[in-house]
Amino acid sequence: MAVQRDALLWLHLWAVAMAASGAAGSKVPAMFVFGDSTADVGNNDYLPESSARANFPHNGVDFPGGKPTGRFSNGLIGVDFLAFSMGLSKSPPPYLSLVANAANSSSSELMNMTKAAAAYMTGANFASGGSGVLDSTGNTINMTKQIEYFSDLKDQMITRLSANRVSALLSKSIFLISAGGNDAFDFFSQNRSLDSTGVQQFSEAVISTYDSHVKTLYNLGARILAVINVPLIGCCPYWRSQNPTGACIEPLNQLAKRLNDGLGDLFSNLSSEMEGMKYSIASSYELVSSLIENPQVAGFEEVKSACCGGGRLNAEEGCTPKSSCCSDRSKYLFWDLLHPTQATSKFAGLAFYDGPAQFVSPITFKQLVEA
């Protein structure tokens, strides 16, 4: 479509200009991240019983130092690029790494607490691959637990600063949420017929639970919410590999769209109910759709197959050290059976930060942090 192509072309030109100019100073004091594998930067590495981990090659092959970090990617992911765009010197670390480092340190307890507090001052990432909006989704760190971790962190911050200073910091910080895809995956896997009554009940449950999570974060001090909606999940390589024609699974895309429509209505209502709350919703759904429609604008040549994996479309198996891995990751939309490449994540980060309304609304993330 011409509109999609024009928006992507504009975004590509803007990205080149941004790269040439460099990022400005910090626009937010901290970023706190919640969600699933689209935002996990290594929390699942600290879950020894979980198989939902990415702390092994080929993951991280393009990350600085060429090492796996727990990100489900060949390199950086979207939250990393958003952190850079917001002027933070680095992406917030996985919360469980901070806890583990403090516990394992040989220094005194007071020094441990001080070191942890310093790390927390620019935020933390609580996201966990495999989790969802619903606590029944997955078996990793569910959203309720992620928010409990944040509550614990806030208490620790108050003991080191003061309630007023922490409240002021949180009110200016970004709270980023990227979740919902795994809920849709699980529901679709168990209900392939997608009868209207079941879909309605499922959608209402997800949106109602999302509502509860946002209100809990608000009561804990969150005021600026950056939301990434459910991607075009039916076009992930894994689901294509399950279709005899290799085409997208459209019923799954429609399920994602229904959840996204509900998210839009939810945040519109919440912004009028909750004093001082600001929000922006980035459309991962629209971005992936546009890149599949016009891949050449972003320099992609392959939008169906996974770069790392095995089987049909290289997507019937996950990415492991023994997997087949493409040599030029920059040409691929998807890294593995479900997740984007670093190249896609960079494009997404730029689109969500200051892209056209097609990709982020009612305001951009840039406008959100500068308002």
pLDDT at residue 345 tops 90: yes
Greatest mean pLDDT among 51-55, 154-158, 212-216 lies in: 212-216
Give the model's pLDDT for residue 11: 57
pLDDT more than 70, % of the chain: 88
The pLDDT confidence band at residue 194, using thresholds 50, 70 and 90, is confident
Q: What is the DSSP letter of 340?
A: B
Q: What is the pLDDT, as a whole number, of residue 43?
A: 97
Does 281 fall in a domain? yes
The H or E element that residue 324 is part of is strand 324-325
Task: Mention every residue, 6+ apart, whose C-beta is less than 8 A from residue 191.
Answer: 198, 199, 202
Dihedral Cα 126, 90, 122, 359, nearest 10 deg: -70
Asked whether residue 169 is domain-assigned, the answer is yes
Q: Is the pLDDT of residue 205 over 80?
A: yes
Q: Which residue has the higher pLDDT, 265 or 118?
A: 265
Which residues are the active-site residues? 37, 336, 339
The CATH number linked to 179 is 3.40.50
**Beta strands at 278-282 and 360-361: parallel, antiparallel or unpaired:** antiparallel
Q: Which domain holds residue 209?
A: 28-299+342-370
DSSP state of 175: E
* Strand 278-282 to 302-306 pairing: unpaired
Does residue 11 lie in a domain region? no
Tokens matching residue 231: 């991607």
Dist. CA 311–CA 319, nearest whole Å: 11
Distance from C-alpha of 354 to C-alpha of 331, rounded to nearest angstrom: 23
Residue 282 CB contacts under 8 Å (≥ 6 apart), including other chains: 226, 227, 228, 229, 348, 351, 352, 359, 360, 365
Query: Is residue 47 domain-resident?
Result: yes
In this predicted structure, what is the pLDDT of residue 356? 93
Residue 130's identity, in one-letter code, is G
Residue 46's pLDDT band, with cuts at 50, 70 and 90, is very high
**Domain total for the chain?**
1
Where do we find the tokens 């939301």?
227
Could you tell me the two tokens for 279? 């929000």
* DSSP-derived 3-state class of residue 279: strand
**Within a domain: 119:** yes
pLDDT for the residue 27: 85
CA dist 265 and 270 (Å) reads: 9
Whole-angstrom Cα distance, residue 187 to residue 203? 10
Cβ atoms of residues 224 and 175 within 8 Å: yes
pLDDT score, position 121: 78
> Which among 53, 48, 99, 91 is positioned nearest to 72, based on CA atoms?
53
d(CA 235, CA 296): 18
Q: Look up the pTM and report it.
A: 0.93
Q: Please state, for a pLDDT cut of 90, what percent of the chain lies above it.
A: 81
Per-residue pLDDT, 49: 86
DSSP symbol at 310:
B
Task: Dihedral sign for Cα 217, 40, 328, 331, please.
Answer: negative
- Does residue 207 sit within a domain? yes
Structure tokens that stand for 38 in this block = 């689209």
Average pLDDT over residues 194-219: 96
Cα-based distances in Å from 256 to 143, 202, 303, 335, 355: 19, 12, 19, 21, 22
pLDDT surpassing 80 at residue 24: no
Q: What is the mean pLDDT of residues 326-341?
A: 98
Q: Cα–Cα distance between 300 and 338 in angstroms, integer?
A: 17
> Would you say residue 309 lies in a domain?
no
Segment 116-137 mean pLDDT: 88
- Binning pLDDT at 50, 70 and 90, where does residue 371 land? confident
- Largest distance between two CA atoms of the chain: 62
Return the CA Rg of the chain.
Answer: 20
At residue 115, the pLDDT reads 56
Q: Place 17 in a pLDDT band, splitting at 50, 70 and 90.
A: very low
The predicted pLDDT at position 21 comes to 43
pLDDT at 138 over 70: yes
Worst-scoring range by mean pLDDT, 14-28, 165-179, 199-213, 338-352? 14-28
Residue 13 lies in a domain: no
Average pLDDT over residues 126-135: 98
